[in-house]
Structure 1
């Protein structure tokens, strides 16, 4: 008798994380990466990598964000995962980045929403898959 579907590893929706890490400690970075991984695991998403932005004055077209948009445009990529809207940058840049994520046909998933942001930026769509793969941290200096 074949095992039940629930006992088989099923590949599911792929997401990529995005972190804005300006002047944060290594412990804080590790905690944020762990929170993305745990959210993905608990919502049965496949976290394939995390793009990080480290420069304080980054605009809406930084190297890390451009890399995120590139992977979001790939087939079978479900969305972008961030701890909070603030990780997309200051309010004006975050709003623009939210629009650009939606423009490539992707979803923006927030671990923690904010009552001060637009509904389209804070909407959370949850999908399902089974994966506990290691997450690649994609560093960027822009």
Structure 2
């Protein structure tokens, strides 16, 4: 009799991590890398490599160029980053996001961007994260 699928080693979709680490401590670097590993584990993704951008100012960097190179490999699902800011300042991050998508990959963020102004916040409601979810509670509670 064949073992159940749950008992076989099955690899998830292949992703690559990307970190922008200018002026951060070693402990912060390790925490950010660990957050990517945990995100991939909990979402059943196979983290196949981690690209680290340490000092790029413009849109081109060796780390990002390397990332784009591996996105051209077959069966690569996407890129995982802690937040959009890890792709660079807003204009550069937006361009890099477009380049990732045009390579046919998905951009997965551990922390999703916050909406600038939501209707709920103008109506007296406050969004508070709790255990990885977002709850809407009345501002008076």
Q: TM-score range by the shorter chain?
A: 0.7 to 0.9
Please give the secondary structure, in 1, of the residue aligned with 2:35. helix
Alignment of 1:1-142 (within 5 A): 1-55=1-55, 57-116=56-115
- TM-score normalised per structure 2: 0.79
Q: What's the CA shift for 1:2?
A: 2.0
1:51-90 Cα shifts (integer Å, max 9, x gaps) = 00000x4211111000001001110000000000000000
Partners of 1:73 and 1:106 within 8 A in 2: no
- TM-score normalised per structure 1: 0.79
Q: What's the CA shift for 1:115?
A: 2.3
State the aligned residue count: 116
Which has more strand, going by share of residues?
2
| Inter-partner Cα distance in structure 2 for 1:116 and 1:24 | 26
| Inter-partner Cα distance in structure 1 for 2:41 and 2:77 | 15
1:29-67 Cα shifts (integer Å, max 9, x gaps) = 000000000000010000001000000x42111110000
| Inter-partner Cα distance in structure 2 for 1:41 and 1:115 | 24
Partners of 1:19 and 1:53 within 8 A in 2: yes
Single out whichever of 96-105 and 108-117 deviates more from structure 2.
108-117
Larger radius of gyration, structure 1 or 2? 2
| Inter-partner Cα distance in structure 2 for 1:116 and 1:68 | 28
Q: What's the CA shift for 1:116?
A: 5.0
| Higher RCO (C-alpha under 8 Å, 6+ residues apart) | 1
Please give the secondary structure, in 2, of the residue aligned with 1:81. strand
Aligned Cα root-mean-square deviation (Å): 1.2
